[in-house]
């Protein structure tokens, strides 16, 4: 099995990223050949500052390393170090349906948030994401629920390519966590927790101080009533139940049973405490890792070499199958 996922270097990583994606990346190292990439080429599709982008790449790399990515057990690199990703993006654009891109919900959301420019890059973003994964012929893509549509696009593009040009690419499967694939904002539980669209009090960051985390959970919006159980009329409590189940790695039913009759105050405190315990090791390891930029840079550059060794032969085969570029000897 080959696992591939990418994560944006923008903003501070939050509990949704941690539960939905980062924890799965760490576990993936024991389940197969794992490849993870920080997608700086995706980050430039919205307004950004070049110097801040470089810092954000290191921030994100340090969080992932602190969370347990081990460069000796996975390939960990920066997307922009390779030319293969944008090259494959272009080649695959010829088997990507324009109509499919117009239906991408992340594009609709993000284009609505832009103040100055909706870039063509933002529209093309899903094709680059398709290329990220198909370049490695990965079989599995661990992500949160919001990325499911992009992984479906990968499958469509791989299948269309293979039908048109021969069996070169692999259609990957999506892998979302059973619990916690869509963590909601603590203040607005009808919206997902997010870096760009969320509320400051409702977004728990991986690096938040313990007191800050506890405060955010104490002030989490609950619903009328006092039962700790899930339901469509109880989005706030349902979200907190999911969070506790995810961080403790138990089922939501077990959480409901444990907190039956205990009231919202005690429950919110328990969720806050559990999240603090879950994030503490990452926060403690982060500072020394982040302080050593040269080591981070070296790790990413080494990772890029390993990544290129896999992606480059795929590109050669794709070019050959499509009949573009120089003729390969024996091709």
**Which residue is listed with tokens 């980050």?**
43
Q: Which is nearer to ligand TRP, 160 or 175 (CB)?
A: 175
C-beta of residue 59 within 8 angstroms of C-beta of residue 8: no
Q: Determine which residue in the list 4, 16, 296, 318 makes contact with ligand AMP, applying CB under 6 A.
A: 16
174 binds, among ligand AMP, ligand TRP, none (CB under 5 to 8 A by kind): none
**Which residue is listed with tokens 């919206």?**
191
Q: Give the CB-nearest residue to ligand AMP.
A: 20
Interface positions, 135-174, toward ligand AMP (CB under 6 A): 143-144, 146-147
Q: CB-based contacts of 246: which residues, under 8 Å, 6+ apart?
A: 19, 177, 179, 180, 183
Q: CB-based contacts of 244: which residues, under 8 Å, 6+ apart?
A: 255, 270, 271, 274
141 binds, among ligand TRP, ligand AMP, none (CB under 5 to 8 A by kind): ligand TRP
C-beta of residue 286 within 8 angstroms of C-beta of residue 60: no
Q: How far is the CB of 25 from ligand AMP (least distance, A)?
A: 9
3-state secondary structure of 275: helix
**Residue 17 found at the interface with ligand AMP (CB under 6 A):** yes
133 binds, among ligand TRP, ligand AMP, none (CB under 5 to 8 A by kind): ligand TRP
Q: CB-based contacts of 315: which residues, under 8 Å, 6+ apart?
A: 84, 87, 88, 91, 135
Q: How many residues bind ligand AMP (CB under 6 A)?
A: 17
Q: Which residues pair with 3 in a beta bridge?
A: 34, 140
Q: Which is nearer to ligand TRP, 38 or 221 (CB)?
A: 38
67 binds, among ligand AMP, ligand TRP, none (CB under 5 to 8 A by kind): none
132 binds, among ligand TRP, ligand AMP, none (CB under 5 to 8 A by kind): ligand TRP
**Residue 79 found at the interface with ligand AMP (CB under 6 A):** no
**Residue 203 found at the interface with ligand AMP (CB under 6 A):** no
Q: How far is the CB of 2 from ligand AMP (least distance, A)?
A: 17
Torsion, Cα 91 95 98 99, to 10 degrees, reads -160
Rounded to whole angstroms, the Cα distance separating 245 from 251 reads 5
Rounded to whole angstroms, the Cα distance separating 270 from 18 reads 19
Q: Determine which residue in the list 12, 54, 182, 306 makes contact with ligand AMP, applying CB under 6 A.
A: 182
Q: Which is nearer to ligand AMP, 192 or 319 (CB)?
A: 192
Q: Which residues pair with 74 in a beta bridge?
A: 34
**Residue 109 found at the interface with ligand AMP (CB under 6 A):** no
Contacts with ligand TRP by CB under 6 A lie at 4-8, 39, 42, 129, 132-133, 141, 143, 147, 150
Q: At CA 94, angle to CA 89 and CA 98, rounded to 5?
A: 95
Rounded to whole angstroms, the Cα distance separating 245 from 233 reads 19
Q: How far is the CB of 88 from ligand AMP (least distance, A)?
A: 20
Q: How far is the CB of 263 from ligand AMP (least distance, A)?
A: 26
Residues that bind ligand AMP (CB under 6 A): 7-8, 16-17, 19-21, 143-144, 146-147, 181-183, 192-194
């Amino acid at each position: 099995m080959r696992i591939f996922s990418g994560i944006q270097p923008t903003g501070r990583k939050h509990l949704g990223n941690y539960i939905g994606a980062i924890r799965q990346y760490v576990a993936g190292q024991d389940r197969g050949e794992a490849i993870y990439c920080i997608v700086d080429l995706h980050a430039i599709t919205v307004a950004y500052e070049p110097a801040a982008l470089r810092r954000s790449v290191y921030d994100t790399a340090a969080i992932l390393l602190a969370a347990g990515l081990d460069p000796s057990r996975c390939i960990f690199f920066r997307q922009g170090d390779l030319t293969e990703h944008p090259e494959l993006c272009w080649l695959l654009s010829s088997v990507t349906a324009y109509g499919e891109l117009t239906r991408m919900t992340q594009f609709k959301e993000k284009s609505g948030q832009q103040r100055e420019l909706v870039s063509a890059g933002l529209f093309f973003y899903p094709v680059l994401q398709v290329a990220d994964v198909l370049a490695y012929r990965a079989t599995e893509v661990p992500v949160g629920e919001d990325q499911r549509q992009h992984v479906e696009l990968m499958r469509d593009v791989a299948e269309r390519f293979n039908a048109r040009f021969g069996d070169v690419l692999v259609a990957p499967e999506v892998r979302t966590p059973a619990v916690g694939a869509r963590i909601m904002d603590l203040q607005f539980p009808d919206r997902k927790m997010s870096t760009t669209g969320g509320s400051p009090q409702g977004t728990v960051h991986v690096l938040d101080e313990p007191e800050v985390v506890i405060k955010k959970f104490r002030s989490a919006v609950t619903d009328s009533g006092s039962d700790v159980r899930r339901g469509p009329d109880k989005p706030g409590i349902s979200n907190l139940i999911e969070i506790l189940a995810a961080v403790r790695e138990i089922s939501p039913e077990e959480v409901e049973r444990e907190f039956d009759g205990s009231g919202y105050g005690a429950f919110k405190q328990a969720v806050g405490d559990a999240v603090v315990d879950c994030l503490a090791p990452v926060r403690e390891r982060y500072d020394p890792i982040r302080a050593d930029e040269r080591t981070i840079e070296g790790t990413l550059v080494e990772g890029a070499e390993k990544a290129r060794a896999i992606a480059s032969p795929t590109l050669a085969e794709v070019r050959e199958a499509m009949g573009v570029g120089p003729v390969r000897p024996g091709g």
